[in-house]
Amino acid sequence: MSERSAAQGKASGRPLVALFATCLVDLFRPSVGFASLTLLQRAGCEVVVPPEQTCCGQPAYNNGDRAAIIALAKQTIAMLEPADYVVIPSGSCAGMLSEHYPRLFDGEWHDRALAVASKTFELTSFLRDIAPLPTPEKLHPPSGKVAYHDSCAGLREMQVREQPRALLKSTCGVEVVELQQRDVCCGFGGTFCAKMPEISAKMADDKLKDAASTGATILTGGDLGCLMSLAGRAQRTGQNLEMRHVAELLVGDQDTPPVGGAD
């Protein structure tokens, strides 16, 4: 993040938020990035999108290659330091910055990682707990019931549980229908789904079955990885369930095709 954009934010008197879009949103679903941007601006934040951002490094880290992501983590920490807050539309990547970056380092970089960790938030928890999203006009609720998929890192590392549900209710009048096993993993697990595809598919099937039994036609969530994996499995098995990121629902974006949907 440049000195100039940091200075601009500080001058406005509004909280300066660095939006870390995540690599999946960057590469596969920019609409989630733009929805996040809009939401943060509506919440009265000065938002910057640091141009150096790439990936938080989870793939290598979770496969046990800490050394490979040291340079990447330093770059990410340094880029986010000038902001008042770091907001990420993913519980998993937010968890990586909050919980795991500090463990990569000792000494000075450990302190710097901790400082960034302490101001890092998952998008919906930020919009609920830190910079409340105003609700001037109710958006058109999506047609059909909406179920919410709690991603594991959001749930356990970032304490995201009720925030997205409350926002969906206040912003689009959506009363989320609940899955029976809310706290069970969907089987994505980053590279896990490629290393153990059959077990991963079984877990996805369980999640899809759970979602289908609620009568929901839309399954939303805060992590694009889970949604891509579930959408891909639903399509392969011929299940009709739309996956959309919660940020898209919160800005009323119903034009963008669902994850994996035709243009």
Partner 1 sequence: MEQTSRNFLGNAHTALGDEARAERRDLLALFQPIMRQSAVDDFAAHEATRAHVKKVRQHTLDNLAYYLARYEEQATHNGNHVHFARDAAQMNSIVLDICQRHDAQRIAKGKSMVTEETGLNEHLARAGLDVRETDLGEYIVQQAGETPSHIVGPALHKSADEIRELFLEKHDLGERDLLETSDMVAEARQVLREHFLTADVGIIGANALIAENGYSMLVTNEGNGDLCANLPSVLIVCATIDRILPRAEDATAMLRLLVRSATGQPQTCYTSFYSGPRRAPDPDGPLETHIVLLDNERSDILDSGYREILACIRCGACLTHCPIYAGVGGHAYGSVYSGPMGSVLTPLLTSLEESAALPNACTSCGRCAEICPADIPLPDLLRDLRSEEREQRLSPLRWRFGLKMHAWLAAQPALYRLLTGLGIRALHRLARGRGRFRRLPLAGGWSSQRDFPAPQQKTFMQLYRERDRHDG
| # binding residues, partner 1 (CB under 8 A) | 75
Residue 60-99 contact track with partner 1, rule CB under 8 A, x = bound:
xxxxxxx-xx-xx--x------------------------
Residue from 10, 28, 217, 254 binding partner 1 (CB under 8 A) = 28
For residue 183, state whether it binds partner 1 (rule: CB under 8 A): yes
x/- contact string, 161-180, with partner 1 (CB under 8 A)? Answer: -------------------x
Nearer to partner 1, 130 or 184 (CB): 184
Q: How far is the CB of 77 from partner 1 (least distance, A)?
A: 12
Candidate residues 40, 152, 167, 246; the one interacting with partner 1 per rule CB under 8 A:
152
Nearer to partner 1, 80 or 203 (CB): 203
Residue 34 binds partner 1 (CB under 8 A): yes
Q: Which of 17, 18, 45, 57 binds partner 1 (CB under 8 A)?
A: 57
CB of 103 to partner 1, least distance (A): 8
Q: Which amino acid is at 243?
A: M
**Site membership for partner 1, residue 141 (CB under 8 A):** no
Q: Which is nearer to partner 1, 28 or 109 (CB)?
A: 28
* Touching partner 1, residues 194-223 (CB under 8 A): 194-204, 206
Closest CB 156 distance from partner 1, rounded Å: 4
- The angle, 0 to 180 degrees and rounded to 10, between the axes of the packed helices 107-118 and 70-80 is 50
Q: Give 261's contacts (C-beta < 8 A, 6+ positions apart).
A: 242
Determine if 229 is a binding residue for partner 1 (CB under 8 A).
yes
